[in-house]
Structure 1
């Protein structure tokens, strides 16, 4: 089994809050510069995965169209768009009944992608679908691009094209769910849970996983290791307190 301590996840994808903001600012600034130079920000992804901007305007300053072009998004507006499509990732994964690990992996890929790119450069709807498709492959829960595209009425060729620019973001991802399972298993052994106490434990475990789902929609996956992430969940404290009461009848 892969080891988090020696993983690319730990080495390359855990940041400080300040570092995250610097990355978001850099991507936003690059898109603004592209709008100034090209009159557009959206990058074309070709079948071989290569990228291209439109041809530069000959004299952007004197071009009358400059005054009617779209305004660049603010960093906060980009964040709102990312958050919307992260919710959509969960919706699509639920619709296809994918395991939580695929959902978590797809969300992590999506978050990593937009540390490097602005939503003005690559439409998050396209990247969302590509991240889900790539997560299915990485987690050995294969679904074809055609099947995924058909299920949500999107062109599967877009998914395959974007896959070429997403695979550079390291495929092995660690999520908090396994750490939660280990924590629950330790508690089960500690209190020797049986019958009603075992059911209480299982119910609280399910609640904790739902809290983890919510936390995966924040930057926590980019700020904390998965084990620490799991311990930080508010529900862990509630689980511990409830199980002690159940075990010792306090």
Structure 2
């Protein structure tokens, strides 16, 4: 992950314009509201998170898999590939790119089956995970093509650690900010902003949550960055938290999945 973010494909090709992102989603937004669309992407981001945890992956790998997932649907409709197939495919690819080691095909499929049945039965009932190794391998090639083989993803975790050191080691602040960075993966911020900007915004939210905003006011004031963008990220993450207060995923997601534009029927075993 060493290298220069400003010269990377992440910065040059994958920091997208918000208006372009909305325009590219128009097909899906003919049948779904923006709110419903975000809830569906958030649900599958949750599947990636749980799948990664069950496979004992580092958070960096899970985050990269989630960004791959977001990038694919930034350019494609939900009907192109079933998100239930793309989610484990992103995990499979990210584990190789982040040098975690290749997950065995049988372990990946078995874990998918167990996760869907035990953790997401509220969405899928007793439905079996319908995909096998050959589907994931085929999907991986399609994913690589759509990512234009831009596989190095810079995450907010590293700049967050640097900022915490600069502030003065504060484990409580780091823990809160780290969790908020994880939550930010459920939004579009990874597609729209630089990782260091996301790290600053998540630090800002963590400071407010812990009542430390006045203590660190001068630190934030001295930052040489676009504070308007930082505030945009803060608003996006706060909106996510507000949505979670009134949204019961276990009761609502099944109906949303029924409304989602469908790919071709799942292959028969």
CA drift of 1:243 comes to 9.9
Q: Which residue of 2 aligns with 1:80?
A: 39
Q: What does residue range 83-122 of structure 1 map to in structure 2 within 5 Å?
A: 83-122=42-81
- Per-residue Cα deviation, 1:157-186 (whole angstroms, up to 9, x for no partner): 221110001113110001111110111122
Q: Which residue of 2 aligns with 1:49?
A: none
Question: Is the CA contact 2:38–2:187 (under 8 Å) kept in the aligned structure 1?
Answer: no
CA drift of 1:135 comes to 0.6
Q: Secondary structure at the match of 1:152?
A: helix
Bigger Rg, structure 1 or 2: 1
Aligned residue-pair number:
191
**Which of the numbers 146, 157, 165 marks the counterpart of 1:185?**
165
Q: What does residue range 1-250 of structure 1 map to in structure 2 within 5 Å?
A: 1-25=2-26, 28=28, 73-74=31-32, 76=34, 77-142=36-101, 143-153=103-113, 154=129, 155-168=132-145, 169=147, 170-188=150-168, 201-233=170-202, 234-236=205-207, 241=212, 244=215
CA drift of 1:79 comes to 3.7
- Per-residue Cα deviation, 1:187-243 (whole angstroms, up to 9, x for no partner): 23xxxxxxxxx5xx1222111110111111100101110001111111156679379
The two structures have a TM-score, normalised by structure 1, of 0.70
Structure 2 gaps, min length 5: 114-128, 217-269
CA drift of 1:11 comes to 0.5
CA drift of 1:95 comes to 1.8
In 1, Cα distance between equivalents of 2:24 and 2:98: 28
Q: Secondary structure at the match of 1:241?
A: coil
In 2, Cα distance between equivalents of 1:120 and 1:166: 14
Structure 1 gaps, min length 5: 30-71, 189-197, 246-250
Q: Secondary structure at the match of 1:173?
A: coil
